[in-house]
Structure 1
Amino acid sequence: MLSDKSRPVIEATLPLVGSRIGAITPKFYSRLFAAHPELLDGLFSRSNQRSGNQQQALAGSIAAFATHLVNNPGTLPELVLSRIAHKHASLGITEPQYQVVYEHLFAAIAEDLADVITPEIAEAWTEVYWLMADALIKIEKGLYAIQANDKMWTPWRVASKTFAGTGAMTFTLEPADDTPITTALPGQYVSVKVQLADGLRQVRQYSLSDDAGTGRTFTTKLDDDGEVSPVLHRGVGVGDILELSNPYGEITLKDGDGPVVLASAGIGCTPTASILRSLAESGSGRQVLVLHAERTLDSWALRGQMTDDVERLGGAELKLWLEEPRVGSLEGFMSLREVDLPADASLYLCGPLPFMKSIRNEAINAGIPATRIHYEVFGPDIWLAS
């Protein structure tokens, strides 16, 4: 809870800090990496730093947290914190690193706002930071505690590597040592660490795309301009060892017997495919509606798996949108206006950010409460900042 002393200060300065946070975060990262260049090796994404997405995500999360404290005294934005905590845990973030971040973030704030900052303002924003940090530390400790092991990274051997639609590849892995395996839930992801040609290690999160449990299968789209996917697609072969995190992610199938709507676009089908497979494997009697959008039929990475699972469920329904339509598909981009949504459905959503924003808005307009709309963001969560 934000103190009575700090609340009016934060309320008064939030517009200013909010307007400057986008300029503050690049200064923060510049200071951080100058002091700790090792953080770019196996922790922070070099690509996201270059694109500005990481800076935008951090700015958005701080602004969103402070706004919530002002508008909702006595509560914390639990969904926002949970999403961030799961991502942090997948990277092995530890409690002492929050002090390092604080040191360089507040040096950047002091530099950028040197003409207006006062001890009272600095104290109030310090309180905001540590409220957020302490809440994240608590959630992350809880996530680490329920793992089947106490390791941040464990070795997994590539057992198979198969093409999955145009430009995508599915990797199936098996344990390379005897570390106890944390059971994954349908819809969760793992972090994958690879070494680049220049020796730097980089990490990316990939949703588990097949059975969850103790198996590890993920599907990734090749990004020719990226750093990690070209290494995975072209440089990693069967028998090679990859370092994986334990599974994380809070966008998992919720218990219940109500209708389920799985909506995805492009490679965003990976978490929804995992949820769909779990429904098929369990012989679920829930009403299931699968919605997917692609450019072409051949580019649908998990086409065979998802169509097979829809058929296995019997009562499930599949609707497909293609920019280059085929018989039986809808043409163009997905729209829920073309769908008869089940009453009291829960919606699971993954794909490019503009797609998710559009579908989420349509779902809310169609009467699905925001609390029953669950979405997964690949990479830094810039939704908060947009």
Structure 2
Amino acid sequence: MRPLRVIGLVLALAGLVPQALAADMVASRGMLSDQGPGEPFRPVRGDPDSAVGTVRIKDITSVRGVRSNQLVGYGLVVGLQGTGDSMRNAPFTEQSLQSMLDRMGVNIRSQSPRGKNVAAVTVTAELPPFIGTGQRIDVTVSSLGDSSSLMGGTLVMTPLYGADGEIYAVAQGPVAVSGFTSQGDSEKLTQGVPTTGRVANGALVEREVPGSFNDDGKLAYELFNPDFKTAIRIVDVVNAYAVKRWGVAVAQEEDLRTVHLHRPKKVSAPRFLAELGDLRVAPDQPARVVIDERTGTVVIGKDVQISTVALTHGNLTVRVSEMPSVSQPAPLSDGQTVVTSETLVEVQQDGGNFAYVGGADLETVVRGLNRIGLKPTGIIAVLQAVKTAGALQAELVVQ
């Protein structure tokens, strides 16, 4: 018997906890891992009644018309500790500062400010759907001039505009920066990106986006990863539920990305989408290999297959090193001291053995690639060559 079940039964018999709570403790044993200290990690077991490999519809789709909107603005960050824009190199900062002070009744047109505690910035934000007037959103602040850091600064009231030119929010507040910079006379140290920061809940929404939700009875799901089979599965699952719930089919596929929904008149749109969004479906994934050559990252989908091929891979390493040497002239001669460099080139090539690679599942493919003993850069070259040979039965995406 599980230790948790024993504890629950003992507590129930002793009257220390209600029987309902003890039953919950016994029933929750499926959500806990049985591994002890020092044992290899094993995944936590989920609800045994949940379908394996399925996800909720609302996790793989979006509702047509429900979308975010981008906002942008231009403002000033003040209160910097000498890390702001230099007015000589960033004249727009000086003009913006003068304009702001003019609106406050301060006239400095006759003289130019020379402080470095002000920085011109762009302010960006994302306006979520259904957000109302008076709610707050986060904003991102990025330096425009030659400011070295925005740490310790405060964003002055900045209007944020939408694509239609209307003001939807106003941002203001202290800027939080994750990086820092420090410098002396001969050395400078920078960690992270100190010229970009965030203002948490820094923008106050002043205008709502009209028409962000279509409530005329015609709704549609749009798949994040378009696929014909996934769209058909969503239609089948939704209609099976709708026939039992409302007595009528409500879903119809349009293409690999869109599933139309016809809301029954007696059901409100929020309740309709809430019930359908919790339905579970098994999404279909195309066989795909994604390669990022800059970072050496290789992602292989579970349905990738490689036809049996024999391959070898040799690593060629070229090392070029230069050592400066000083040639001194003989004493009492008219020669000059000359600095020369000695270049040494070393070439090393590691030959590889032939290995058979092939398989109908991901585990077999990875095992075959590991058998060759390749580094990520080598795996990238091998996969590209296998694709060229026609043995990689998947889409190869190179980023």
* Same fold per superposition (TM over 0.5): no
Q: Considering only CA atoms, is the larger Rg found in Structure 1 or Structure 2?
A: 2
| TM superposition score category, shorter chain reference | under 0.3
Question: Comparing both structures, which one devotes a greater share of its residues to helix?
Answer: 1
The higher-RCO structure (CA 8 Å, 6+ apart) is: 1
What TM-score results when the alignment is normalised by the length of structure 1?
A: 0.22
What TM-score results when the alignment is normalised by the length of structure 2?
A: 0.21
